[in-house]
Structure 1
Amino acid sequence: MATETVLRRMGYTVLRKIGEGNFGQVKLATSEKHPNMVAIKIIDSRRGSSTLVQKYLPRELAILKKVKHPHIVEVHNILKMNNGQVCIVMEAAISDLKREIKLRHHIPTGLAKTWFSQLVSAVVYLHKQDIVHRDLKCTNVLLTADYQVKLADFGLSRFSKGFPEMSETYCCTLFCAAPEVIRCQPYDPKKSDVWSLGVVLYQMVTGSVPFKEKRAHKLLRVQRKALQYPVGITVEEPCTTCCSTTLPLARL
C-alpha cells in the first residue's frame, strides 16, 4: 500500500514535496491531530544502503526521541511502515536561513544577533547532551511563521563526547566543513560544529560564503587566509570577532 494512502488513514494528507533530507524526501501535509501543517520526512530503509539502515537511521531516530529544545524542530511522531519506510512527522516551517539570505541579500545586524543566538543555544544544548549535528548549514536552519529558528535534519548526527573521542566519518557540506574534516583526519565533531557555526554567521551578515572554492585542496588553501568581508557591507566588530574565533586559520 502506498505510503501516502497509509498516512491518509492515519490522519495526514500530503500536499506536496518541499525538500530533500540527507536520506529522504520531506513533504508538507495537513494533520487531523495538529492544528498547524506538518512536515513529513520519508525515508525508505529498504532502498537505502546498509550504512543508512544500520548506522545513520538508528542514530537519527534515537537523537530525535531524546532532544527537546525551543530552537530544535519538534518531532510529533515517528511512524514505521510495513513497506520499510520510516516517516518522521514534525512541525513545519515557512522558510529557511538560505532563502532568507537570498531574499534579503544579507540579514540585518539585529535580526542576525537574534537568529544566531537561537541557533547557538540549540547547538550548546546538543553538545551538553553529547550530541553533534555534523551538518550545520543555512538550509538546515528552519524558520517558523513567527520567525523563530528551528535546527533540523539530524541525518548525519551522532552521540559523541568530543575530544578525545574522535570522529572518522567525513561528512558535512564541503564549504561548511572544518579543515580536518576535508583532510579526512580524525576530528573532534563538537569543534567541527563550531566551525560550521562560524560559516553560517558569516553567510548571515554578508550574504556570501567565507570560502568559495569548490575543490577540496584549493579550499584548504583559502581557509588558511584571514577572513575578508565584502565591500559595501558593514559588519560590526563583535560579529567579526565571533567569526574570527569560530573560524581560526586552518591548522597545518
Structure 2
Amino acid sequence: MNSKTDIIQKELQSALLEKRPNEEEDQIKRRESVLEINGYQVKETIGTGAFSIVKKAFSKTHDRSVAIKIVSKQKATKDVLTKFLPREIELVRGLKHVNLIRFYECIETTLRFYIVMQYAENGSLLQLIRKEKFIPEARAKLFFNQLLNVVEYIHSMGIVHRDIKCENIVFDETFTLKLIDFGFARGNMHPVVAGGKIKPVFSKTFCGSHAYASPEILKSVAYQPQLSDIWAIGVVLYTMVIGRLPFSNENNINALIKQVSAGPKFHKDRSISDDCRDLITRILKPVDERITIEEMRRLSWLNENDSGYDDSGNEKILEKRIKLETGVDESEAKQVDINNNDNSSDQQCTSPSVYKRKVATPNKF
C-alpha cells in the first residue's frame, strides 16, 4: 500500500517539475497555427517594432516567399488600432504600382492582425548604404527616379506617405525599388476648391523620423504633406550619394531646426556632380522655395540619356562610365551615420504634379 502511495507521490512531483511552455511560446504556436491554416509556412523573423513583428513565410497559394507583418492588438495603442492601421490597410489595398510593395491579404483574429505582403529579397536601402558606404551617383539616380515615380503616383491618388526614409525603401529580387510602410499615410488629400480657388489640404500630425522631417513639421505648424514628402526624398537622395544623413536624428528640436534652416553641408570626402548637388539643395529648401516634382523632371540631372546602369540597377559591363567618385578611396570613406498580382498591370504615373509649392492659408486638417 505504501509502495502505491509512493508511486503516486512521485508521479505528482514529476508532473509538477515537468517543463511547461510559457505564455509567449503558447502565443507563438497559436499565431503560427493561424497562418498555417491559411497556407503559410512561417520562417524566420526579419523585423520587429514596438507592437509588431515581421516574419518571412512561404505562401502555398502564391507559390513564393512573402513577408507577414503581425500586429498585436494587446500591445498597439488605441490610435494605431482605430485610426492608423485600418487606414493603412484601406490605402494599400487600392494602390498598385511597380515601385510599391504588393499587398496580398489581411487576416484578423481576436488578438492580432496579419498583413501579408510581397517579400523584398534584397533588403532595405538603409542596409545597402551601410554595406556599400554610399551609392554611386549614376545608380542613385536610377533609384531616385523610381522613388520619384512612386511618390508622384501616390500623390496623384490623393495619398501622402508621411514616413519616407531609407528604412522604408526596399528592393525585390531584380533590385527594383519598392516603397513600403503606409502606417502614417493618409488619403483624401487632393487639393479642394474653396471660394473659387484651388487650395491644398493641410495636416498637423507629426509623423516620421526627426532626421527626415521638414522644417515646417519640426516647427509644429500646419503643413502641406505632399511638400513634406518631397523634403524626405531629398534627405534620401543626399543619404544615398553622401553616405550619411544631412541632419542629425536627435530629439533636440531647436538644434535640429537650426541645422535644417542652414541647409545641407556637402563633405569633402565625397565628390558629387554640380547638378546632383543643385537638386538636393533645391529640395532641402524652406517650403515656399522648395522645388516640386514637376520642376525636378525638367532638370538636366534627371534627363541624361544614359545612367550607366540597366533597369535592374546593375552596372553595364560593355559600357562602363567613369564614376564621379574617382579619387576617393572607399576604404577611407566614413561609415554611414544613420539610425534608424501581375506586374503587367502595374501603373506608372508620370503626369505633372498637381501640387504647387506656394502655401495657402490652411482650410482643413
Q: Same fold (TM over 0.5)?
A: yes
Segment of structure 1 superposing worse, 66-75 or 43-52: 43-52
Where does residue 201 of structure 1 map in the other structure? Answer: 237
Segment of structure 1 superposing worse, 242-251 or 140-149: 242-251
Select the residue among 84, 87, 94 that pairs with 2:111: 84
Deviations 1:197-223 (A, max 9, x none): 000000000000111261211010011
The reply to whether residue 242 of structure 1 matches residue 269 of structure 2 is: no
Structure 1 pair 200/23, CA: closer, same or farther in 2 (3 Å)?
A: farther
TM-score normalised by length of structure 1: 0.94
Matches within 5 A, 1:62-77: 62-77=90-105
The reply to whether residue 146 of structure 1 matches residue 174 of structure 2 is: yes
Deviations 1:150-175 (A, max 9, x none): 10001010112255311111111001
Structure 1 pair 21/125, CA: closer, same or farther in 2 (3 Å)?
A: farther
Select the residue among 183, 191, 194 that pairs with 2:227: 191
The reply to whether residue 174 of structure 1 matches residue 201 of structure 2 is: no
Deviations 1:24-77 (A, max 9, x none): 221111111123210001112343222112210111011011100000000111
Where does residue 124 of structure 1 map in the other structure? Answer: 152
Q: CA RMSD in A?
A: 1.7
Select the residue among 20, 24, 46 that pairs with 1:18: 46
Structure 1 pair 25/152, CA: closer, same or farther in 2 (3 Å)?
A: same
Unaligned runs of 5+ in 2: 1-26, 192-198, 289-365
Q: How far apart are the structure 1 equivalents of 2:131 and 2:266?
A: 20
Q: How far apart are the structure 2 equivalents of 1:153 and 1:213?
A: 20
Q: Highest Rg: 1 or 2?
A: 2
The amino acid across from 2:40 in the alignment is: Y
Q: How far apart are the structure 2 equivalents of 1:161 and 1:241?
A: 29
The reply to whether residue 156 of structure 1 matches residue 184 of structure 2 is: yes
The amino acid across from 1:114 in the alignment is: L
The reply to whether residue 224 of structure 1 matches residue 251 of structure 2 is: no
Identity among equivalent pairs (%): 33
Question: Greater strand share, 1 or 2?
Answer: 1
TM-score normalised by length of structure 2: 0.66
Where does residue 135 of structure 2 map in the other structure? Answer: 107
Q: How far apart are the structure 2 equivalents of 1:128 and 1:249?
A: 23
